[in-house]
Structure 1
Amino acid sequence: MILLENENIRVTFAAKGAELRSITSKINGLDYLWSGDATYWAKFSPVLFPVIGALKDETYIVDGKEYHLSRHGFARDHDFEVEQISDSELLFTLSSTEDTLKVYPFEFKLDLRYIISGSSVSCTYEVTNPAEKELLFSIGGHPAFAAPLTADASYEDCYLEFAVDESLTYFKISDNLISDQTDTLHLDKAKLFLKHPLFYDDALVFKHMESRAITLRNTKNEYGLHFRFNDFPFFGIWAAKDADFVCLEPWCGIADGVHHNQQLSDKEGIVSLPPGEDWKRIWEVEVF
């Protein structure tokens, strides 16, 4: 484990996938991330790159050639180079190789920059295009937060509080792809109480969420977290079946739709980065 800590929090990471592994408050002793129990889901906070969700038939087309990637891409399964910038900052780097070019025909440099401050940890995705052609990619977060945090609360005592939205329309998933069917969640004073059946049909996928901050709280005690994100056009909320966590997932990109033509350049939400340019997005979690 790789460690950052200050007087308020202790945060650990793994080089594999540049994955955030724990966020422990020194004030109350609570770890706010999911435990990684393999009975339900063995990951903690994977980075989704260069695709988010599933591709139709795990296949996409670039310049007339078919390529194959599994769900959420390959970055989460690769070891990143690690550099400690300061006592409060870590930089994880993954670059294209001969092996990645076989399944993803683009040169890239992907940096994940983690910074702690007070009781907060931020994650910055930085993508650089070193090539002489455009770089097409999607990227997003998948952090899983413990729900509940303490033994005196249950999953159903936990709720998400949205900064702006009064209702949320989500797109249903069909065979891992985004369907045309939608449903609407009507919030109770901006609150969505967690229930395991919410996620029995996979993630809730939002294309038009207005909130750029979500708070995870519960009715039994004062512990929780604020999750903030900007400039992510898509958002997912998910949990494994009957598991006591909730994933808050800001995305630049989305799974293939059921009618997608498999051309990567036509993929909904795909980011096109010109030669020699950089791109970045940030999400942040503050625990209390």
Structure 2
Amino acid sequence: MMILLENENIKVTISAKGAELQSIKSKKDNLEYLWKGDPAFWGKFSPVLFPIVGALKNNTYCIGDQSYQLPRHGFARDLDFEAQQISEEEALFTLSNTVKTSEVYPFEFKFSLRYRISGPAVSCTYEVNNPGTKDLLFSVGAHPAFAVPLTADTVYEDYYLEFSQDESLNIHQIEDNLIGDQVAILQLSDRKLNLQHELFYNDALVMKDLNSKSIQLKNTKNQHGLNFRFIDFPFFGIWSAKDADFVCLEPWCGIADGIHHNQQLSDKEGIQSLSPGLDWKRSWEIEVF
């Protein structure tokens, strides 16, 4: 099932499977801003990461003496959400615990994604509710992939990311999908990171202390690009599949296990803890131009 959001500026398509964005298209020039999802490189568009972000050590976590297994980034991206069209400009997608999810994740939860469009912008709000009687432990992350190049008259190397505040990036090295001990400093030029495929040959650029709350994707040949805004996400990743024509901008409330992690979920870096009956929200927004 697909839901379409549309106004005078943009058309946005979302699939009920994984509550995943499929398309963000400008109506002015029919320009598509999302990656095309080519499975030869990476068959996703904008998967949601829940109830974990990144990989677990040995794909396993523990609650006390009981161990469970989850794949990288969790299970929500592969499940069907209940879809509700609120209006032409808003849609709500909801996933709740089932007997099947409880086998790998023994928590009661209600997890929703609320998409809204306004002018040339689309926002996504993660809404988590704890309907259970014990604390809900979870992580949430975004993984939208943006087309690079955006237009036929440009190539990948014409594009750059402009950070609202940072002059350099502290990159945590990845070892077998886990966070290693080494940190590399990547210097920016006037807060800009020029995109090159080689940047991602060793996996994602992972940051724990990004100061910027917005990143713009721009190019040196024309005025097309986007502004990606996010608040209260303590971790951030930038990634592309090898030699693929996209870049992912990924704000996270959670992160992959460190190589020395004890695998206890309650001790996992970035884990969110939500008391019974309470709600939790985080949002990000894409404005295209």
SS for the counterpart of 1:257 is coil
Name the residue aligned to 1:208. 209
Distance 2:125 2:159 in 1: 27
SS for the counterpart of 1:243 is coil
Q: Identify unmatched segments of 5+ residues in structure 1.
A: none
Distance 1:163 1:281 in 2: 19
Name the residue aligned to 1:260. 261
Paired amino acid for 1:267: K
Paired amino acid for 1:233: P
Paired amino acid for 1:175: D
Aligned sequence identity (%): 69
Q: 1:63: Cα distance to partner?
A: 2.7
Paired amino acid for 2:86: I
Name the residue aligned to 1:9. 10
Q: Kindly report structure 1 stretches of 4+ aligned residues shifted beyond 4 Å.
A: none
Paired amino acid for 2:213: R
**TM norm structure 1:** 0.99
Name the residue aligned to 2:47. 46
Contact 2:13–2:24 (8 Å) recurs in 1: yes
Name the residue aligned to 1:29. 30
Q: 1:67: Cα distance to partner?
A: 0.1
**TM norm structure 2:** 0.99
Q: 1:87: Cα distance to partner?
A: 1.5
Name the residue aligned to 2:82. 81
| 1:244 paired to 2:252 | no
| 1:89-128 aligned within 5 A | 89-128=90-129
Map Cα deviations across residues 123-172 of structure 1 (whole Å, 9 max, x no partner). Answer: 00000000010000000100000011011111111000000000111101
Paired amino acid for 1:60: Y
Q: 1:27: Cα distance to partner?
A: 1.1
Name the residue aligned to 2:270. 269
What's the C-alpha RMSD, in Å, of the aligned pairs? 0.5
Q: 1:121: Cα distance to partner?
A: 0.2
Distance 2:165 2:29 in 1: 29
Map Cα deviations across residues 18-77 of structure 1 (whole Å, 9 max, x no partner). Answer: 000000000121000000011100000000000001000000001310000000000000
Name the residue aligned to 1:235. 236
| 1:81-230 aligned within 5 A | 81-230=82-231
Distance 1:200 1:47 in 2: 23
Q: 1:214: Cα distance to partner?
A: 0.2
Q: Identify unmatched segments of 5+ residues in structure 2.
A: none
Distance 2:11 2:28 in 1: 10
Contact 2:172–2:180 (8 Å) recurs in 1: yes
Distance 2:63 2:129 in 1: 20
